[in-house]
Amino acid sequence: MAADPKPLKLWDRDKGKAVEEFMSDHQTTYETRPLRAPGQWLRATPIFDKLYALYQDAPWTRRNIAPFVREYHIDMSEFEERRYRSYADWFVREFKPRKRRFPTDPRQRGAPAEARYFGWKRFGPDQRFPVKEQSLAAADILDNAERAKPFLGGPVLLMRLSPVDYHHVHYPDDGRTLDHERLGRSIWTVSWTAVQNKPDIYIRNERQVNILETEHFGRLGFVEFGALTVGRIVQRHPLDHPFKRGAQKSVFKFGGSAVAIFGEPGAWRPADDLLEHTPQGMETIVRLGEPVAVSRGTS
């Protein structure tokens, strides 16, 4: 039976305290086991995603922007000032120049997305989520045991982008793309309540897998997940061109979404506050560019 969505307890890094976050949504999307939710399978298809995206791109949806900004206290002074043609256009808004900065210390890795973060020092085949013992294995996510081999036993960052967030993803370091593949079909929400009720949600979701060779953090398995009403992951940077730290990589078109980064064993470690709060099942709110990991050889 569906239940009222419950607020998530998060650690707010900037405020230095725990906060609660609530995003209202259709109850059956988040609370009911998907097989029992009427219409859930339809809403999890790319066709529904495209139709919903077309609707949100209609000019009359501009009227939804101001109420959403007020309800979730979004500071629009941080974003470029322009007239948005639709709600979907506003959803992919961009920061004003220099509103977010990446670390100048090459050993510090800046957050590639403005999101809620989990971090693990080591993530092996037997490692499990701190939420009802659901597992996230590199081989499953990357869909290729050989591709996953360099990351077994290595660190992992998992970030969840809320609908209130800036939905562009940036490169964490200088480097180049070694491999890229688009996987998955159905588009499920990536809220933690939904993850509890559908253990294979990250495996089923549309995702884009990138193997990145970086200058200071070694090889990374960089995976972008589409979620309910955000199945379109648009790569902004040509994948056959080298990239720079902080450069825009991709954008999620409307909705919630997630990113996972797998690292080679010993190459880097997640930031201390992520490691502290992850075992408690508490995500940490991190702004784009803020430090989320340190490279090998730093304390």
End-to-end CA distance of the chain: 48
Task: For the chain, give every domain's residue range.
Answer: 108-295
* Residue 266, Ramachandran bin (φ over 0: left; ψ between -120 and 50: alpha; else beta): left
* Separation of alpha carbons 146 and 143, rounded Å: 9
Rg (CA), the chain: 18
Pairing of strands 218-225, 207-214: antiparallel
**Res 185: pLDDT:** 57
The CA-based angle 169-174-176, given to 5 degrees, is: 85
pLDDT tens digits, the chain, 299 residues: what are they? Answer: 444 556 788 999 999 999 988 765 433 333 334 444 444 444 445 565 566 666 777 899 999 999 999 999 999 999 999 999 999 899 999 999 999 999 999 999 999 999 999 999 988 666 654 333 345 667 777 877 888 889 989 999 999 888 899 999 999 999 999 999 887 654 444 444 444 444 454 555 678 899 999 999 999 999 998 764 444 788 999 999 999 999 999 998 765 578 999 999 999 999 999 999 999 989 999 999 999 999 986 54
